[in-house]
Amino acid sequence: MPDLANAHRNTPFCPILELAGRIQARDRPVVDFSIGVPNFTPPQRVYDAAIAAVHADQCRYGPSRGEAGLIAAYLHYLTQLGLDRFGPENIAAGQGGKHLLYSLFQVLFEPGDTVVIPAPCWPTYFDIARLSGVAVRTPYCGLHQGYKLDPATLEAVLGGQVVALVLNNPSNPTGALYSMAELAALAEVLRRHDVWIISDDVYQRFVYTDDPCPHLLDIAPDLAPRIIKVDSISKLYGMPGWRAGLLAAPPEVADAVATLNSNSISNMPPVVAAAAAEALCGDQGFSQRMTSGYRARRDILLTAFDSAPQIRCARPGGAFYLFPDISRVFGSMHGGKMISTDQDLCNLLLEEYGVAAVPGRHFGAPDNIRLSYAIDADQVRQGARQILRCLAELEETPGKRQSSQPLPTAQTPVMEVVS
């Protein structure tokens, strides 16, 4: 009997969406720190734009590159960020940032190529690479590095069959935010290596500094012919279900993605494009105001965990995730069962304390868990209390294990090759 393609027999279901399904199946309340869904909705004008498109019977095929109005709105958005170097020929639309990343792996890479993806990172990167026949070289950037890639580590992992670097700033799952100086130092390394630079910027406007999120396009414009900027309306505008993403890239890359669209999705639905265009080009205040709310929720968690010796946290500079190192609980007991892994702790939190967290192993960091604080502040406080109660009720055992993996140094990056 015919079988599935090998890549599809072995690729796991998205672990975060799988956990979301487990939570929905429960019959008890859960403080849900799992999935990164903004807890706000766009203003009425965004819905009005979609409704107007329906009434205008815009339910037809559209351009595979993207509707002209959407491209103009995205160019306006980029100009507001200070990126006025792009024209329509640089833009392509897709059904969310995830879809565009998948498309980029199809149009840029050959099977057997290697892409550098610093960990901790979004797990879907690994699966997109596997489905594309691409190997992943993963330098582990730990707590002592602020979960950020440094120049020495980057230099060590480039070369050979490496054809690209994926950089997510601010980061999912850590909230790590690269400074201008840090990006400039990485740019010095990248100038010596002819590789694509895929900049995943879906959290770019959620930063907790007084200055905007720095970008390689500003810091190293000479690298622009190799930089591909990926954006999404899902996080920034509270529109995850609309499935709209955009990229700004060299014309040949945008053309290739548009051609792939023509042979796969055909086009973004015009009704979705109308809503996305309104979100991008209208008043941005509703989205920007959420940043201060997320900063406050971040601080609730950081303050709560300051009193917990079992948890070590880096202070997120952006996004809406906290990525605590929980390796100090490994070897502890609860109800006669040993907590040996991040998965053990997450199972305990969900089943006994009604708190959903994502095991760090899915992000390449099995000493951590991820908490998305894009939920109501009262829920954040309740979840923090429950986590602290869980930690207080753990029983220490003699000679318990401290960590599931050694912390590497910048000079000895940990490599993981996924094919």
44-283+410-418, CATH topology level: Aspartate Aminotransferase; domain 2 (3.40.640)
pLDDT in tens, 84-96: 999 999 999 999 9
Domain range annotation of the chain: 6-41+286-392, 44-283+410-418
Question: Rg for the chain (alpha carbons), in Å?
Answer: 22
At 326, list the tokens. 């929980």
User: Which stretches of 13-84 are DSSP H helices?
Assistant: 15-25, 44-55, 68-80
Cβ-contact 4, 117 below 8 angstroms: no
Strand boundaries in 185-244, DSSP class E: 196-200, 227-232
Contact 132, 152 (CB under 8 A): no
Q: Which residues contact 308 (CB under 8 A, 6 or more apart)?
A: 387, 388, 391
The reply to whether CATH 3.10.180.10 applies to domain 6-41+286-392 is: no
Tens digit of pLDDT at every position of the chain (419 positions):
888 888 787 777 877 777 777 777 777 889 999 988 888 888 899 999 999 999 998 888 999 999 999 999 999 999 999 999 999 999 999 999 999 999 999 999 999 999 999 999 999 999 999 999 999 999 999 999 999 999 999 999 998 889 999 999 999 999 999 999 999 999 999 999 999 999 999 999 899 988 888 999 999 999 999 999 999 999 988 899 999 999 999 999 999 999 999 999 999 999 999 999 999 998 888 777 888 899 999 999 999 999 899 999 999 999 999 999 999 999 999 988 999 999 999 999 999 999 999 999 999 999 999 999 999 999 999 999 999 999 999 987 765 555 544 433 333 333 444 33
CA dist 217 and 282 (Å) reads 24
The DSSP letter of residue 395 is B
Query: Which runs of consecutive H residues, i.e. helices, occur in 340-376?
Result: 342-353
Helix (H) or strand (E) run with residue 322 in it: strand 321-322
